[in-house]
Structure 1
Amino acid sequence: MLYPNTIEQKLGFDKLRIWLKEACISTLGQNFVEKIRFSDNFGLVEKLVSQTAEMKKITEIGENFPSQNYIDATTYLKRASIEGMLLTQSEFSDLKVSLHTIKLCIRFFENQEPETYPLLGEYAKNVRVDKAITDAIEKIIDDRGQIRDSASSELSRIRKQLISEQAGIRKKLDTMLRSAKSNGWVSEDVSLTVRNGRMVIPVAAEHKRKLKGFIHDESATGQTVFIEPTDVFESNNEIRELEYEERREINRILLQLTSQLRPFVPDLQKAYQFLGLMDFLRAKAKLAREMDAINPPFTNRQFIEWREARHPLLHLSFQKQGKKVVPLNIELNEKQRILIVSGPNAGGKSVSLKTVGLIQYMFQCGLLVPVQEGSSMGFFQNIFIDIGDEQSLENDLSTYSSHLTNMRHFLTLANKRTLFLIDEFGTGTEPGLGGAIAEAILEDLTKSGAFGVVNTHYTNLKVLADKTPGLVNGAMRFDGEHLEPLYQLEIGRPGSSFAFEIASKIGLPMAVINRAKEKLGTQQVNFEKLLKELDIERRVFAEKNIELGIKERKLTRELADYTALKSNLETNEKKIVNEAKQKAKTLLADANQLIENTIREIKENKAEKEKTKVVRNEIQKFSKKNLEPELIPEPAATEEIYEPEDGAIAPGNYVRILGQTAIGEVIALRGKDAEIRIGDLKTTLKLNRLERVSNKTYKAATGEKSLKTVSKGVDLNERMMNFSFNLDMRGKRGEEALGLVDQFMDNAIMLGYDEIRIVHGKGDGILRTLVRNHLRGYSHVSAMQDEHADRGGAGVTIVKLK
């Protein structure tokens, strides 16, 4: 069930219907577009969407699928089914080309594997275009849509005789025309022409009496008359008779061909139904490609789980302008069935609401939807919406009365299979009363088990959502610092209307705004203030989460590298041990052989002193070659020598950063700052952070220790990439906190930041005082101040650096 009956206009589906009609090639497809309806039949929805997905796949792959001659010939078939009727030559020409398109479509699916396009392939199997009728039409109609001369022997005879007569009469008239030109009756550029189906000669009006014949016509100015000479009058009559005969023969042929077509009309009507479906599906596939739409998993239960959903119409409009739509992530399930969305005006609440309604509606109409992979579609039998103003003078309904009328339908008909959408819930009457009635209605809708999305500014509904099972708050994100909407939906917390901030930005007098705050009361002001502070805290923690994510990914990568290196070392160790064992085995065998040979030689030579000495020397050589370890000279240890030099630092000098080992060259001086180069890295530092060193120190650092210097440069780059201007030290003890401050300040000064942010919390102010007193010892600190009250106030110190 749908409510109200104008739901398509309110959601914007009527514009998608128009887009699809324009994308269709023929009225066949447009008729299908007119028949699009929301379906509450799960199986039918699944089938329609799957058909569209199959056609989208065909168009994306670039298959050779027919894209022209989708001609609606159904009216011709209706007339052909009547006994005694005949189709015209042009109608048979349309039949010929459109039937050829149908056969190409059928042949396409026949050439595919059954599992490639299961639904469309099965549909194509049930379509039949008999070869007898296409051959019969092909025999009569040529590729130009004309009747072939060979359509009948009589027609062939007539056309041959007609050509002969026309050639004869043209020959006579050419002779007469040359004579008239020589006599000056007609100008040299005149040629033969036809009037009333008869060949004539254009003659100047003053000479019309000089050429005997019948005047058929004259020019608009009356200066030229068109004369049929008497000598060719009979020949023209003969040609006219032959043309009548040709027309009668063609009608006879077409009547006979229509009779041949008549028995095949039922099959052909199904074939054109198939052709219309193909045209319609091509339009739906084109729309899906324009929107980057997909066919997400579809389940027969009630839920919404969408990733990066985009408003279809907004996507099409922005695409033409080269802009991108901010996507919507939304999830509704049994635990959070109804989403209460709050936030400032013009923040995107209504667009988000319509996005939910339009995507669900178009999916259950058989269209693919613009969501990201990983999304899932649920199934709803009812969609109820209350969007816009339905006041009616005829029915004496005010804006609020129309809203209450809609709510009556919602409360009466809503159930577990219902999706309802309410924009600006409770508006149109006194806010206190409207909020109370809206809260009572919402409680009943919650009990019905229905799913829904509600937009509101009422605080009591935000509080109700926070404490009621099945309800969940949502907020349209807003940049409180710049007072600009971000158009992003965040589920799990309520949003602030930012009414006072927006009023201040517009330029409303502060006195008026302050009086409004007083009239509102401290409870409501504090609630709005709390929402803003929570938003700021969320942004701070989001930044820290990003930093932690980067570090965690880096740690994971290094751990993987370590594991791989360890595994490689263990493998190499086993390999080396095995090789050593094998080598030892070989050496042992060689040694045993040598010993046996030595003993034999000693025995054979009866222990002669000289021979024994020679044999002993050979054994010693073998031992030195194979058994003694090879000595590998150890590299001489180098000491890090830093020789400071006196004198002022100037461009071209070599300097060291105090407290670090990095050595660099001074490129230029700018007041109290120096631009230095460390490896491939350039940076600007204060002169009091640098120490001049000797050339020997620089050569030692860039020569023997080149690898170390490079590694230092890499560390600086990584430090720049990973540095965050925000230091959160809440919960730290004094000594630990000051250590973090020193490290934070060193990095900030080295990287050239002019402003940093230290979060220490409010508490008793002990940590804040300790940190600020410590910072006063830094000569680089120019000023310190509290953060803006909306972003932490005295719990955050803003440090400005020189």
Structure 2
Amino acid sequence: MIFPPNFEEKIGFDHIRQMLVDMCVSSMGKEYVEKMRFETVFNRIERKVSQVFEFLEILKYEQPFPAQNYFNLIPELQRIRLSGTYILQEQLFDLKSSLESLNEVIVYLQKLDSAKYTLLSELVEDKRVDRVILNEIYSIIDEKGNVKDTASETLRDIRQRLIKLSGEIEKAVRQVLVTAKKSGWLNPNDEITIRNGRMVIPVPAANKRKIRGFVHDESATGQTVYIEPAEALDANNEILELRNAEKREIIRILTSFTDNLRPKIEELIEGYRFLGLIDFIRAKALLAGKINGTKPFMSNEPLIDWRKALHPLLFLVHQKQKKHVEPLDILLNKENRILIISGPNAGGKSVCLKTTGLIQYMLQCGLLVPMDDNSKTGVFKDIFIDIGDEQSIEDDLSTYTSHLRNMKHLALKANKNSLFLIDEFGSGTEPQLGGAIAEAILEHLNNKGAFGVITTHYANLKHLAGKTPGLINGAMLFDTREMRPLYRLQIGNPGSSFAFEIAKKTGFPWFILRNAERKIGKTQIKFEQQLQQLELEKKELTQKQQSLNEAEKQMNEAKSKYDELTAKLIETKEKTLSDARSEAQRIIADSNKLVENTIREIKEAQAAKERTKKIREKLKVESERILAEPQKKSEAKPVEQTKAVIARSKKEKSAKEDTKILVGNRVRILPQQTVGEVIEITGGEAIVSFGSIMMRAKLEKLVNVGEEEFYQQVMIKKRGGENIFNELNTRMANFSVTLDVRGMRAEEAATAVIQYMDEALLLNIKEVKIIHGKGDGILRKVVRDNLRSIDEVIHIEDEHIERGGSGATVVRLK
């Protein structure tokens, strides 16, 4: 149940409904908008919201959706149900166009991935357009809606006779015209004209009896008469008869078609209703795109757990004015069902109330809502609202009386599935009595388990929330330093009205305020100020704590990387020692083998001096070789590395001294770090090789690197197992084809665009999109001016109207 009857006007939903009407392209879709109602069945709500979410995904990521010629032929189809009636020629053309559009919609939706667009695929799975009907229409009318000559043999014969007679008439009339001109009966410049559908000759009134024929008209002055020559009268009469015959034949053709169409009227009406439903869902998706609507987590229970919720109408107004809207975080659950918001006047209390009512109502009408998609939403059976002045002279109702009447209805009807929204609870009468009645009503609603949001200035209601389970206080924050409201809801503590501070800011007479302070007592005023200041400091401490937690997280990640590197170093060290041990064992084994062979040869030589001497010398040479081998291996590397470093240093020095880019140079493409080799230079561009990948870049974006830097990169890649493919794959995986610069200053946007385009060019991306919003067009101009300065940009255009229009720029690259 929704109360009061003008609920939609009170929360602003009537504006949402009108926006949906404007976004529909057919009267059928608009009828769905008018019939849209508050739903309470969870499965139906979730299904409708999910359908809109799927359609929003189509508008964002798929090909443009067909949305033309959504004509409503239902009234015409219902008219021709009666036997003997026939469809009008103009309506037949609309039937053709709309059936083609219906067929395009069905084919489009059936081609989508059914796993991704489940609900929309279900909508269209049994839908089709009867091709027999379309083919029959094609045989009757052409692309301009005219009945074809080939629609029937009789019609073809009639029209051929008409063409022949028209030619004969024109020939006869022209002969009379030429004769009359030669006789001087006409002005030299007079030509054949048409009157009453017949060819006539303009003749001066003085000569009208010189030409035989029928006078059809005369000029306003009476000086010229329009005569149909007698030679054309019979032929024109026959043409008139043929025209009538043509009309009769067309009616016969349309009647015959209608007779064939009549058995399929119900099927066609169903098709048009489906087309209207698609138009309706599309309009809801367009609205969602406009207000940044999304699908939150949904639960079949009374619950509000919203994060960064925005009032959609306020968001659109502020977006045009380039103003920030403070998002709303609000939680109503079984433990804290009723939120009592207090705070300064003009601080945003009523906006919070309306935001809650409007968003919940939109959701249960099957619309996507503007909030963080991690929010959780529930379903309420009833929504009550009491806001604004409803006094009525006719009904003899004062403001407070109308509030009491609403409270009576709420007290009797509310239950655990109800959501109530009350603005300025208890106001309108003597504060002490009004506060007592409000407190009693609040206790009654709490006992019934209802959910609600109320705004108040009454201290007794704030105290009640502090000690009663199910109730919780909330405050609209106020900056006591700058003396301005922050429009931010803080749940947990009550807020102050800041009446004196606001009065001072408005320039209220100081002496009156000083007298008021004496009456209420400075202690009370200071307490209110300190309470709010504590809330602000608490907020700042929370933000600092979040920053510290983030820093601690980063430090832990750095420590983990350090531990990982240390472990790898230890592993490398152990491997090196193991290799050294293996080498030592090999040397010992070779030495033992050499000694054994030497002893054997001495024994075989039977201690001959010369032979023994030679064997000993051979032993000495082999021993020196074995001992020197590992030393050479260990020394060769440092010597070679030293020489290589010296050579690289010289080359690096010369490369730095000579910044000119030449074929064969080692270079980097700014601002990237990967080093490649210049393969070719043409004009002001160069082709750079990164392994097997070739890239084109401007010369001014290249910088020479020394061999040392190149050598280090090669060694790093060898040790880490990384290469250019890994880097490019990582960049490609992290690259987004859409850049959003909304909210940036002009300078920030310009820098972001240049860096983004450099990355796109490096990755050889052919098309990107930059979202800058519409607004006053400043960001759009900055973005496009920077894009025009990039030679690789070959085309710039506005995004499709359904995906942002002039609020986004599509860029195509070479």
Distance of aligned partners of 1:588 and 1:64 in 2 relative to their CA distance in 1, 3 Å threshold: farther
Cα distance between partner residues in 2 of 1:591 and 1:451: 93
Q: Which residue of 2 aligns with 1:87?
A: 87
Deviations 1:97-127 (A, max 9, x none): 1111112222223333433333232222343
Q: Which amino acid aligns with 2:417?
A: R
Find the aligned partners of 1:181 and 1:531 in 2 and give their Cα distance: 105
User: How many residues get paired?
Assistant: 633
**Equivalent residue, structure 2, for 1:173:** 173
Counterpart for residue 227 of structure 1: 227
Q: Is residue 2:551 matched to residue 1:551? A: yes
Q: d(CA) in 2 for partners of 1:248 and 1:109? A: 42
Q: Distance in 1 between matches of 2:38 and 2:121?
A: 25
1:623 aligns with 2:607: no
Q: Which amino acid aligns with 1:68?
A: Q
| 2:592 corresponds to 1:592 | yes
Tell me whether 1:115 sits opposite 2:115 in the alignment: yes
**Would the aligned equivalents of 2:382 and 2:417 in 1 still touch at CA under 8 Å?**
yes
1:602 Cα deviation after fit: 4.2
Separation of aligned partners in 2, 1:588 and 1:185: 137
Is residue 309–residue 370 contact of structure 2 (8 Å, CA) maintained in 1?
yes
CA RMSD of aligned residues (A): 2.4
Read off the aligned partner of 2:287 and give its amino acid letter. Answer: L
Which whole-Å CA distance do the structure 2 matches of 1:299 and 1:332 have between them? 13
For 2:8, what is the secondary structure of its paired residue?
A: helix
Are 1:612 and 2:580 counterparts? Answer: no
Q: How does 1:318-333 map to 2 (within 5 A)?
A: 318-333=318-333
Aligned to 1:379: 379
C-alpha distance in 2 between matches for 1:540 and 1:32: 48
Q: Note if 1:279 corresponds to 2:279.
A: yes
2:418 matched to 1:411? no
Q: What is the CA-CA distance between 1:57 and the residue it aligns to?
A: 2.1
CA shift for structure 1 position 293: 0.8
Once the two structures are superposed, the pairs formed by residues 489-504 of structure 1 within 5 Å of their partners are: 489-504=489-504
Give distance in 2, aligned partners of 1:187 and 1:596. 140
Q: Distance in 1 between matches of 2:81 and 2:206?
A: 59
Q: For 2:475, what is the secondary structure of its paired residue? A: strand
Task: Give the counterpart letter for 2:357 in structure 1.
Answer: G
The answer to whether the Cα contact below 8 Å between 2:480 and 2:529 also exists between their aligned partners in 1 is no
After TM superposition, list the pairs within 5 Å mapping 1:321-720 onto structure 2.
321-521=321-521, 524-542=524-542, 544-545=544-545, 547-549=547-549, 551-604=551-604, 606=607, 608-609=612-613, 611-613=615-617, 615-616=619-620, 618-626=622-630
Change (3 A) 1:629 1:279: closer
Alpha-carbon contact 2:598-2:615 (below 8 Å) kept: no
Partner of 1:314: 314
Contact 1:475–1:490, Cα closer than 8 Å, also in 2: yes
- CA distance in 2 between counterparts of 1:547 and 1:53 reads 35
How many angstroms apart in 2 are the aligned matches of 1:266 and 1:533?
Answer: 69
3-state SS of 1:38 partner: coil
Alpha-carbon distance in 2 for matches of 1:223, 1:54:
73
Pick closer, same or farther for the CA change 1:57–1:225 going to 2, 3 Å.
Answer: farther
Is residue 2:32 matched to residue 1:32? yes
Query: Which string of whole-angstrom CA distances, capped at 9 and with x for unpartnered residues, describes residues 440-473 of structure 1?
Result: 2111111111111111112222222122211111
What SS class does the counterpart of residue 227 from structure 1 fall into?
A: strand
Q: How far did residue 283 of structure 1 move? A: 0.9
Cα distance, 1:204–1:114 mapped onto 2, change above 3 Å: same
Whether 1:125 aligns to 2:129 is no
Bigger radius of gyration: 1
In structure 2, the partner of 1:151 is: 151
Task: For 2:182 and 2:392, locate their aligned partners in 1 and report how far apart those are by CA, in whole Å.
Answer: 86
User: Measured at CA, do residues 537 and 217 of structure 1 come closer, stay the same or move farther in structure 2, by a change above 3 Å?
Assistant: same
Partner of 1:799: none
> What secondary structure sits across from 2:297 in the alignment?
coil
1:310–1:355 Cα contact (<8 Å) kept: yes
Query: CA shift at 1:165, angstroms?
Result: 0.4
Quote the offset at 1:201 in angstroms: 2.0
- Pick closer, same or farther for the CA change 1:301–1:221 going to 2, 3 Å: farther
1:201 aligns with 2:201: yes
- Judge conservation of contact 2:595–2:619 (CA < 8 Å) in 1: no
Of 166-175 and 11-20, more deviation after overlay is shown by 166-175
CA distance in 2, matches of 1:630, 1:26: 85
Partner of 2:652: none
C-alpha distance in 2 between matches for 1:184 and 1:350: 89
Secondary structure at 1:270's aligned position in 2?
Answer: helix
2:289 aligned with 1:289, yes or no? yes
Is the 8 Å Cα contact of residues 338 and 472 (structure 2) preserved in structure 1? yes
Return closer, same or farther for 1:508/1:611 CA change in 2, 3 Å cut-off. same
The CA deviation string for residues 747-768 of structure 1, in whole angstroms up to 9 with x for no partner, is xxxxxxxxxxxxxxxxxxxxxx
- TM-score normalised per structure 1: 0.75
Please identify, of 422-431 and 112-121, the stretch whose mean Cα deviation from structure 2 is larger: 112-121
Contact 1:337 1:452 in 2 (8 A): yes
Gap change, CA 1:546 and 1:221, over 3 Å in 2: farther
Distance 1:448 1:188, change over 3 A: farther
SS for the counterpart of 1:143 is coil
Aligned counterparts of 2:123 and 2:546: Cα–Cα separation in 1: 52
On the 8 A contact 1:465/1:472 being kept in 2, the answer is yes
| Structure 2: gaps (5+ residues) | 640-814
Determine helix, strand or coil for the equivalent of 2:144: coil
Q: CA deviation at 1:561?
A: 2.8
Residue 170 of structure 1: CA displacement? 1.1
**How far apart are residue 596 of structure 1 and its match?**
3.1
Specify the alignment match of 1:237 in structure 2.
237
Indicate the residue corresponding to 2:10 in structure 1.
10
Q: Is the 8 A contact 2:380 2:417 kept in 1?
A: yes
TM-superposed CA distance for 1:223, in Å, is 4.4
Cα separation, 2, equivalents of 1:356 and 1:183: 91
Is contact 1:127–1:270 with CA below 8 Å preserved after alignment?
no
| Whole-Å separation in 2 of the counterparts to 1:218 and 1:156 | 36
1:480-534 per-residue CA deviation (whole Å, 9 max, x = no partner) reads 1111222221212222211111111222233322221221235632431331331
Alignment-derived partner of residue 301 in structure 2: 301
1:689 aligns to what?
none
Task: Call closer, same or farther: CA 1:285–1:614 in 2, change over 3 Å.
Answer: same
SS in 2 for 1:489: strand
Once the two structures are TM-superposed, the CA of residue 354 in structure 1 deviates from its matched residue by 0.7
> Residue 127 of structure 1 contacts residue 267 of structure 1 at CA under 8 Å; is this kept in 2?
no
Q: Distance in 2 between matches of 1:402 and 1:150?
A: 72
Q: Say whether the 8 Å CA contact 2:302–2:378 is kept in structure 1.
A: yes
Residue 337 of structure 1 aligns to a residue in which SS? strand
**Structure 1: which 5+ runs fail to align?**
634-802
Deviations 1:412-464 (A, max 9, x none): 11111011111111111122222222222111111111111111112222222
> Shift of the alpha carbon at 1:276?
0.8
Report deviation, 1:317. Answer: 2.2
Deviation at 1:171, TM superposition (A): 1.5
Kindly tell me: are residues 101 and 543 of structure 1, through their superposed partners in 2, closer, same or farther at Cα, counting changes over 3 Å? closer
**Which range moves more in the overlay, 532-541 or 73-82?**
532-541
Residues 587, 514 of structure 1: alpha-carbon distance in 2 compared, 3 angstrom cutoff: farther
Provide the rounded CA distance (Å) in 1 between the counterparts of 2:135 and 2:208.
54
1:183 and 1:428, CA in 2 relative to 1: closer, same or farther beyond 3 A? farther
Residues 369, 182 of structure 1: CA spacing in aligned structure 2 closer, same or farther, 3 A cutoff? farther
**Residues in 2 aligned to 1:533 and 1:433: alpha-carbon distance in whole angstroms:** 31
| TM-score (ref. length: structure 2) | 0.74
Matched residue, 2:772: none
